[in-house]
Amino acid sequence: MQSFRTEIENPVVEKDIIELEKKISLFRDGKIDDEKFRSLRLARGIYGQRQQGVQMIRIKLPYGKVSSEQLNRISDVSDEYSTGRLHITTRQDIQIHYVSLDRTPELWAELDKDNVTIREACGNTVRNVTASETAGVDPKEPFDVTPYAHATFEYMLRNPICQEMGRKFKISFSASEEDTALGYLHDLGFIPQVREENGKEVRGFKVLLGGGLGSQPRHADEVHEFLPTDQLIPFIEGVVRVFDRHGERAKRMKARMKFLINNLGIEGFMQLVEEEKTALPYKTYPIDYKSYEETQKLPNPPSVQTETPSDNTYKKWLLTNVFPQKQKGFVSIGVKVYLGDFRTDVARKLAKLIKDYANNEIRLTLRQNILIRDVREDLIPFFYQELQKLGFAAHGYNTVGDITACPGTDTCNLGIASSTGAASILEKVILEEYPEFLVDKDFNIKISGCMNACGQHNMASIGFQGMSIKVGKKVAPALQVLLGGATFGKGKGKFSDKVIKIPSKRGPQALRALLDDFKQHANEGESYHAFYERMGQMYFYEILKPLASTEDLKDEDFVDWGNEEAYVKAIGVGECAGVVIDLVSTLLLEAKEKLANAEDSLKESKWSDAIYHTYAGIINAAKAILTAEGVNTNSYANIVKQFEEVLAESGKINVGGKFSDIVYQIQNNEPNESFARSYYADAERVFEQIDAFRAKEVQV
């Protein structure tokens, strides 16, 4: 593997890749525990598949922006290391599957040649920072949020505060009050605002905190009506630090930030954020949006003589897939990508099209589609013609006929039932039987293969969640039907209600029943959400109740969509949260590595990074010894408390002072050189005492 190392230009990335290569070798030699290794590879975008021996690689693409060069690079990597298939996720990433673990360092090095990363795409990290795909071209936006989303991505990437949290953390930036990036269901959601102060325009954000989906969705709280943009990064860091310290780490189902906020209350949580301010490396963090905006130029490609189609298919495409931009004379074109999947040969042709005739950029969307931006109006017929050649000219972009679905049992360990198979047949029902709905952008259908809601089923007009249903001694695939979800804008939304569970093979019948009823009883112009609210949950339960019976199931009902063999409920070890069961020796080794990272940061004069690495080293050392003692270590805050009560106060370990006072120096000091060095010296002393105690215990 030495050959690819010399081609890596970025020393930071090179260090990451070499570390990954070494860890893989240690894992193969049995020197790293399997569960601990999982945590490390997940934080580097490497996710175990349902199929043994291969990995899914998640490629992290901030706010979905991809240049033609990057798209070609990703295509080359997919052809060489994967299967030539690309999958767009609901977080604007691209995933490739069936990759050998041993080739992942080489794969990463190839991606880096065009500034593409897999770092922190999975695991208990700050995940991909998402944004409205229309950011920068939206006629309704107060300002372009792109530079702010990018600054957030860059600031959090490799930041010590978010490398091994109790759970993943998600951030979104919406372009306008329409909240098309769904801020209300994120850990942190930002909606741009503009105020006039002393005759000048001042930019800021409405801030939403503590949202989430999953089995217990929570609507985010609005915590700032207007947060000045220079406070964006300090506020995000304060929130992440609090989550890292107090978030649950033992019980996976209670480890998301929404549960921490429920426990502390929003005021209690915000008070902890306030208490972090002294420790922050930046009290203000101005973001240079002007330099970014100055680089944004509209393209001027050659004109192409193309006959404008006059058929209804083209007219429908114009109606649903073409959008005026705030830049006069230009449009964006929505490309409906079936189930988010496309091949590398198509990707390369698309890359050439946008390079030659658009602005050399696409944005991947939250609904697993593609938005081509900055297309000159006279080129619309030409683009339609070229997209037809690629199979990318289907109308109904972002409508009810554009179903969102996670991979489900195709590749995911947590999948219970097939989401892509169900989505495929349901989309066919709409296209063939209900084409009139292909213009309704307020009506959506989303499907997830399990409760984790990667397909966002519990915020959909009509949502389906993969489940199983027991019928005597047999088990059949099933779908939980959820109805009435909606996004209202301004940071408001409603989660859908669970209505009934039906066998999966009756999904098409359920959809027909719901759409027929809507057509018959909805008022003119009434949205599906409003219709659902007016009719009530039990009304829909009664409509679907006949489909829930299991007394008359046939053999085919025990075969899931897209499969030929009888259904078997097989759930693997879920990795989307990167939950680990740490061994004492592994934790002590990790504590040493954290302190080594702190030493490196001290040498580079990165005082804030050094301090946080030091903090993490102390915590991991304490966790190791508490684990050996059989003591609960469900949060960093509890580790400090338990170490003091169980080990320090009893006199088992003398760390030269009160343990909590030593640890929480991090909260009470400015992140300068003097404190960074003294804190590191304290940590070394603590580690030596813990290591000596452990050695004595092992000897006994």
Q: Residue 580: its pLDDT value, please?
A: 33
**Whole-angstrom distance, CA of residue 649 vs CA of residue 653:** 8
Q: Residue 700: its pLDDT value, please?
A: 59
Q: Residue 519: its pLDDT value, please?
A: 96
**Whole-angstrom distance, CA of residue 85 vs CA of residue 225:** 43
Walk me through the domains of the chain, giving residue ranges and CATH numbers. 2-112 (3.90.480.20), 130-293 (3.30.413.10), 311-389 (3.30.70.3340), 404-558 (3.30.413.10), 584-699 (1.20.120.330)
Q: Residue 573: its pLDDT value, please?
A: 45
Structure tokens belonging to residue 517: 């009823």
- In DSSP terms, 341 is beta-bridged to 87
Q: Which helix (H) or strand (E) holds 146?
A: helix 146-156
Q: Alpha helix locations (H) across 405-481?
A: 419-433
**Amino acid letter, residue 72:** N
Q: Residue 577: its pLDDT value, please?
A: 42
CA distance readout (Å), 685 to 37, 353, 394, 597, 614: 28, 61, 65, 17, 12
Write phi, then psi, for 67 (nearest 5 degrees). Answer: -85, 170
Q: Residue 325: its pLDDT value, please?
A: 98
Q: What are 301-330's pLDDT values in tens digits?
A: 999 999 999 999 999 999 999 999 999 999
Q: Which residues of the chain are under the pLDDT cut of 50?
A: 1-2, 571-574, 577-582
**Whole-angstrom distance, CA of residue 301 vs CA of residue 636:** 56
Residues 546, 547, 550, 551, CA torsion sign: positive
615-640 exposure pattern, b = at least 16 Cβ within 10 A, e = fewer = bbbbbbbbbbbbbbeebebbbbbbbb
Q: What is the secondary structure of 154-179 as a DSSP string?
A: HHHTT-GGGSS-SS-B-EEE-SSTT-
Structure tokens belonging to residue 241: 């630090």
Burial class (CB in 10 A: 0-12, 13-18, 19+), 327: middle
- Which one-letter DSSP state was computed for residue 21? H
Structure tokens belonging to residue 156: 């959090």
Q: Residue 453: its pLDDT value, please?
A: 81
